[in-house]
Amino acid sequence: MRNTVLSLLCTLLLFSCTKENESKPQPSPNRDSLSKGTSVKEPKWEERAEFGKFFSDANVEGTFLLYDPQENQYLVWNPERARTPYLPASTFKIFNSLVALETGAIKDENDTISWDGVKRQIPDWNRTHDLRSAIKYSVVWYYQELARRIGEERMQHYIDTANYGNRDISGGIDRFWLDGGLRITAGQQIDFLVRLHNNTLPFSQRTMNIVKDIMILKETPDYIYRGKTGWVLRDSTSVGWFVGYLQRGEKVWFFATNIRMEGDKDVPKRKEITWDILKFLGLVGGEE
């Protein structure tokens, strides 16, 4: 009799524990769990030596990284450089735009900030701008004003929440992405853009929709081409960035290119190399 009672109690206890576990929400897979035996597969990395021709033809040193989510694969030229962190320079305008819209530092893409009257080296900067024109012409003073309006506390919050680069905003609220502490790799640039495209960044849908719209460089019946350039000018490190993504119907490819810049002659090469490789891969046609 005693053995029967004990057996019954054990059965009831086991049933209770099973029901309790079933009622608890189970964690969903994330990037941190990729190496912990989940069913989520790590992306493959494939070095493509033929990409090097486009850099040698342009007479520049650099890297190109393409992420193809359809194949869960990275194609890369110069993987060591692709994993090297650099200042984001004006590619940070993508993130700055998101935070400015989310915090109300600017109302929408048509909200203007008046030019302060200070003549700057680039003529297109010397006028009043809205968000759409400021990202198109990469107007530094406009985005510095947005950063000041956002403030250090809110900026740090979103940098941390979105896990952007090394999350270091030291060096001044209106300088940290230009010559301060912030650093990002080509791989991290792509990770950020993937999350923007997938609407998984810590911003409202409205905010992300506006930023994706103002990033469009070209739109045709066949594809949408989004991107942003950047130029790091600091000491002996002069790096030119071009990051973005190409969307054709339901398919999308993300890219990050950076090169060593020797002067104005190298300015167009970031975009030219990127386009030539996309064309080589058969993802776009002849004209840019």
pLDDT of amino acid 233:
82
Structure tokens that stand for 241 in this block: 């960035």
Cβ proximity of 32 and 40 under 8 Å: no
Which residues are identified as catalytic? 90
By DSSP bridging, strand 251-260 and strand 73-77 are unpaired
State the pTM of this model: 0.85
Tokens 């900067």, residue? 125
Task: Kindly give the confidence (pLDDT) of every residue in the chain, 288 residues in length, as a single tens digit, with 9 standing for 90 and above.
Answer: 444 444 444 443 433 433 333 333 333 333 333 333 335 689 999 999 999 999 999 999 999 999 999 999 999 999 999 999 999 999 999 999 999 999 999 999 999 999 999 999 999 999 999 999 999 999 999 999 999 999 999 999 999 999 999 999 999 999 999 999 999 999 999 999 999 999 999 999 999 999 999 999 999 999 999 999 999 986 566 999 999 999 999 999 999 999 999 889 999 999 999 999 999 999 998 666
Task: Find all residues with CB under 8 Å of 125, minimum gap 6, and list them.
Answer: 137, 139, 140, 141
pLDDT of amino acid 13:
41
One of 1.10.600.10, 3.40.710.10, 3.10.20.580, 3.30.530.20 is the CATH number of 42-280, namely 3.40.710.10
pLDDT of amino acid 29:
31
Where do the structural domains in the chain lie, given as residue ranges? 42-280
d(CA 123, CA 107): 26
Cβ proximity of 105 and 149 under 8 Å: yes
Structure tokens that stand for 286 in this block: 């002849």
β-partners of residue 204 are none
Structure tokens that stand for 88 in this block: 């984001």
Q: Helices 93-103 and 205-214, interaxial angle, to 10°?
A: 140
Please report the beta strands in 48-113, taking only residues with DSSP state E, as ranges in sequence order: 62-68, 73-77, 112-113
